[in-house]
Amino acid sequence: MTEQQPPVQIPTDVPASARIYGWTLGGKDNYEIDRQFALQHLPAFPEILDIARENRLFLYRAVRYLAEEAGVRQFIDMGCGLPTENNVHQVAQRFADDPRVVYVDIDPIVLVHGRALLADNGTTTVINVDMCDPEAVLTHPDTRRLIDFSEPLAVLYLSVGHHLFDQDDPRKVVHSVFDRAVPGSHLVFTQIVSDDPERRAAIDAAANGAGMPWRTRSRAEVGALLAGPTPVEPGLVDIRRWRPDPDQPPLAPVPAELAQFVGASEKHGDLCEYGGVLVK
């Protein structure tokens, strides 16, 4: 952690992706406005609860693969979200010696809670940077301190692609960091997709109407965004099908208010968190 850390302001008058997502995972760091947003829109898109939780289970399997099988020792986690159980550094530490992790998030609440979690951790840091500014991530002193760009690394964009508008040039955002990485490096990407234009438009309207940047994409659009590096087996998929493991550690229980939405994704297959792990 860097030593000069100014106090941060947490906006509580608009819902925030980090806090809503954290609530779906059983987290406590959220506000009435976040819970109301979820309860207002989940009846129309109930499968998003399962999708969010499945994404977090995928994170565990992907980081385990990277640390245990692919030999990755350094990670940049873009849009890392609020700390919960089995954060990237904890999964990596379980399966590899001395991993180094830079967490990146635009939301100041993530910085506050990340600092608390990582106060005594010299090999993991959290920085408050917009991932749409890759140079700011790459040149941040904590990135320079922890990441050796002459060694393979993994860059993670988990459940964050839908926060990038087309005008943000998501392909450039993602690849401008990954292009700096040496062969043997991995890119992990997931985002919410639907191949139904009306559903995409409805989800985008709900999120953008509340002030949360959102662009649901089709599977083909995500494929085009990621073109270049080679997807590892089983490729780009609904992440429930990415090396499923019924024995992986479970998530915290769903909050009681959200229990009514559990299981909706089994009835609606189109909307899902889509992506995978790619290697250069």
Ligand X SMILES: C[S@@+](CC[C@H](N)C(=O)[O-])C[C@H]1O[C@@H](n2cnc3c(N)ncnc32)[C@H](O)[C@@H]1O
Query: Where does this chain bind ligand X (CB under 6 A)?
Result: 17-18, 21, 55-56, 59, 79-81, 104-107, 110, 130-132, 158-160, 163
Q: Which is nearer to ligand X, 97 or 133 (CB)?
A: 133
One-letter identity of residue 35: R
Q: Which is nearer to ligand X, 130 or 151 (CB)?
A: 130
- The partner residues of 186 in beta bridges, in order of sequence, read 154, 279
d(CA 207, CA 119): 33
CB of 251 to ligand X, least distance (A): 11
CB burial readout 181-200, b (16+ within 10 A) else e: beeebbbbbbbbbbeeeebb
Q: Which is nearer to ligand X, 54 or 221 (CB)?
A: 54
CB of 23 to ligand X, least distance (A): 11
Q: Which is nearer to ligand X, 50 or 107 (CB)?
A: 107
CB of 110 to ligand X, least distance (A): 5
CB of 257 to ligand X, least distance (A): 19
Q: Which is nearer to ligand X, 116 or 182 (CB)?
A: 116
CB of 173 to ligand X, least distance (A): 8
d(CA 125, CA 111): 9
Strands (E), the chain: 74-78, 100-105, 124-128, 154-157, 186-193, 230-231, 237-238, 272-279
Q: How far is CA 92 from the centre of its chain?
A: 16
d(CA 154, CA 144): 15
